[in-house]
Amino acid sequence: MKASIRKLGFSIAGLVLLVVSGLSFYESRHLKEPVVLSDGVTQVMKLSKYFPDIEGTANDCNIYVLEGKEPGATLCILGGTHPEEPAGRLAAWLFAENGVMMKGRLIVVLSANRSATTVTRVGGAYPPDFIIPSPWGGQTFRLGDRWSNPLDQWPDPEVYIHYPSGQYLAYLDSRNLNRCWPGRPNGTLTEKTAYAFLEMIKKEKVDVVIDLHEAELQYPVISTIVTHEKGQELAAVVSMTLTDLEGFKMGLEFSPKNLHGLSHREIGDYSDAISLLFEAPEPFLDATRGKTTTDQLLTGKDEFVVKAGKHGLLFEKIDEKGWPIDVRVGRHTSAILQTMASWTEVHPERPLLCDNVPRYAEVIEKGIGKFLQDPAHGKPGRVLFE
Amino acid sequence: MELVVTIIYYCLVGFVSVLLIYNLIKTTEWQKEVLYIIVLIPFLLRLFMLK
């Protein structure tokens, strides 16, 4: 009798744990992130418009189109390829909620791998979400992970063989959007997603694609632009101009020809677009980090990563000030705006000009929250959810 | 093929869950009872497709 009561007690405690953790996972997967459309957003489409097979899946994401007042070139921003690199998504968010294209056309994607935004790295103690404070309270964003949710794509193969190169990659990267380009129509969900985006890039005649990322400080490709050979001239001018005028260092790397599946390689190879990838520093991703908390994610402060720097183990500097999220997002917004300006210098007949999006210094001065719009005051029909 | 693997997988998860519950009922040591409960949680979460 005594043993039965004890078992019942343990079972109830287990049930409580099950419900609490289950609710947390469920809420994380279904958290709605509001997007208050800028007056510059002229059209919102679904990715399935370009590849109907993706319809009804987690990755049938929104595509925001900002048509300019004057014609020009077309630039596409991919945010959320790796959602656990939040500066990329947030920078794209500032364009969708504030941007007004004066010349040319801008296509903004906030959740390129939407499935990956619905799961976190539990084994890495990742928090499920984070809040960006704003004058009206704050907005909660899903943190997400690097790979598509196993609930949406599984089982993983023993070895991931990239299509069409046949290159062997880690099994986990079969769910990594930035290892699945150019994708294929009869592949996995992640491969279909890459294929759908490539169809969009071709059909919309996109001139420049920018894939926004963040990197750990122990990774050599950091604080840089990675460019396909088609974009070398453009990327070099952007890199030099940012370093000269905006006060932050922006390097330049060339996309290796034999490293397959990455956006900077395959988009350039399989479409007419110039493909660029921007990297900002994110100490949260470093293996030597301390506590994995939202505070660490947003302030970019970590004494253990600083110590690694003192031992010469990092490829980017870090001190007690860390790498705050405002700095990382500001780097991305400035780099995108500078890409538009540098493109226009070379192609004055097909210009790109975006207004109302803050650059590096302004984002740092006022904070990202200042530029996030209050969904409670959004115009009817102009508030969507990611 | 994917569907077949999925069905087999969930059958396995269900089978292991039943085994754990059976062992929980049968054991007389409280330490093992706690252990079975803790091990059971991720299996049930997976069975309910929560991740």
A194 in Cβ contact with A162 (< 8 Å): no
- The helix, strand and coil proportions of chain B, stated in percent and rounded to the nearest 5, come to 85, 0, 15
Mean pLDDT over each residue of chain A, to the nearest integer: 96
As for how many domains chain B has, the answer is 1
Subunit contact B45:A18, Cβ cutoff 8 A: yes
Rg of chain B on CA atoms, in Å: 13
Alpha-helix runs per DSSP H in chain A: 2-30, 86-98, 114-117, 189-203, 232-245, 263-270, 294-299, 303-310, 325-346, 360-366
Residues in chain B within 8 Å Cβ distance of A29:
51
Query: Which tens digits make up the pLDDT trace of A214-246?
Result: 999 999 999 999 999 999 999 999 999 999 999
Q: Which domain holds residue B21?
A: 2-47
pLDDT at A111: 98
pLDDT at A1: 64
* Among the four given CATH numbers 3.40.50.300, 3.40.630.10, 3.20.20.70, 3.40.190.10, the one describing domain A40-385: 3.40.630.10
Complex confidence, ipTM: 0.84
Residue B5: exposed, middle, or buried by beta-carbon count in 10 A (0-12, 13-18, 19+)? Answer: exposed
A138 in Cβ contact with A90 (< 8 Å): no
Report the number of secondary-structure helices (H) and strands (E) in chain A: 10, 15
Average pLDDT over residues A31-49: 97
Average pLDDT over residues A144-168: 94
Shortest CA gap A13–chain B (Å): 9
pLDDT at A154: 87
| CA-based end-to-end distance of chain B | 23
Please state whether beta strands A251-254 and A224-227 pair in parallel, antiparallel, or not at all (unpaired).
parallel
Q: Which residue of B has its CA nearest to A11?
A: B37
Does the structure show a pLDDT above 90 at A181?
A: yes
Q: Which residue of B has its CA nearest to A121?
A: B51
Subunit contact B34:A25, Cβ cutoff 8 A: no
Subunit contact A18:B5, Cβ cutoff 8 A: no
State how far the alpha carbon of A284 is from the alpha carbons of A84, A126, A292, A350, in Å: 9, 10, 7, 39
A127: nearest Cα among A216, A212, A28, A34: A28
Shortest CA gap A25–chain B (Å): 6
Q: Does A17 touch chain B (CB under 8 A)?
A: yes
Query: Which tens digits make up the pLDDT trace of A244-254?
Result: 999 899 999 99
pLDDT at A162: 97
Distance of CA A385 to the CA centre of its chain: 16
Shortest CA gap A29–chain B (Å): 8
Q: Which residue of B has its CA nearest to A156?
A: B2
Query: Which tens digits make up the pLDDT trace of B16-47?
Result: 999 999 999 999 999 999 999 999 999 999 89
Confidence band of B5 (pLDDT split at 50, 70, 90): confident
Query: Which tens digits make up the pLDDT trace of A63-82?
Result: 999 999 999 999 999 999 99
Residues facing residue A105 across a β-bridge: A67, A74
Return d(Cα A285, Cα B22) in angstroms, integer: 41
Q: Which residue of B has its CA nearest to A2?
A: B28
Average pLDDT over residues A262-266: 98
Shortest CA gap A65–chain B (Å): 33
pLDDT at A124: 87
pLDDT at A164: 97
Does the structure show a pLDDT above 90 at A271?
A: yes
Subunit contact B37:A13, Cβ cutoff 8 A: yes
- Location of structure tokens 């599946």: A261
pLDDT at A18: 94
Residues in chain A within 8 Å Cβ distance of B44:
18
Q: Which residue of B has its CA nearest to A144?
A: B51
Q: Does A119 touch chain B (CB under 8 A)?
A: yes
Q: Does A256 touch chain B (CB under 8 A)?
A: no
Query: Which tens digits make up the pLDDT trace of A289-317?
Result: 999 999 999 999 999 999 999 999 999 99
Q: Give me the residue spans of the domains in chain A.
A: 40-385
Return d(Cα A82, Cα B18) in angstroms, integer: 37
Determine if the pTM surpasses 0.80: yes
Shortest CA gap A105–chain B (Å): 38
Q: Which residue of A has its CA nearest to B28?
A: A3
Q: Does A43 touch chain B (CB under 8 A)?
A: no
Does the structure show a pLDDT above 80 at A88?
A: yes
Q: Does A14 touch chain B (CB under 8 A)?
A: yes
Residues in chain A within 8 Å Cβ distance of B9:
155
Share of chain A above pLDDT 70, in %: 100
Confidence band of A25 (pLDDT split at 50, 70, 90): confident
Average pLDDT over residues A270-282: 98
Average pLDDT over residues A375-379: 94
A77 in Cβ contact with A339 (< 8 Å): no
Q: Does B33 touch chain A (CB under 8 A)?
A: yes
Residues in chain A within 8 Å Cβ distance of B24:
7, 11
Confidence band of B49 (pLDDT split at 50, 70, 90): confident
Q: Does A149 touch chain B (CB under 8 A)?
A: yes
**Three-state secondary structure string covering A187-213:** CCHHHHHHHHHHHHHHHCCCCEEEEEE
Return d(Cα A369, Cα A371) in angstroms, integer: 5
Mean pLDDT over each residue of chain B, to the nearest integer: 92
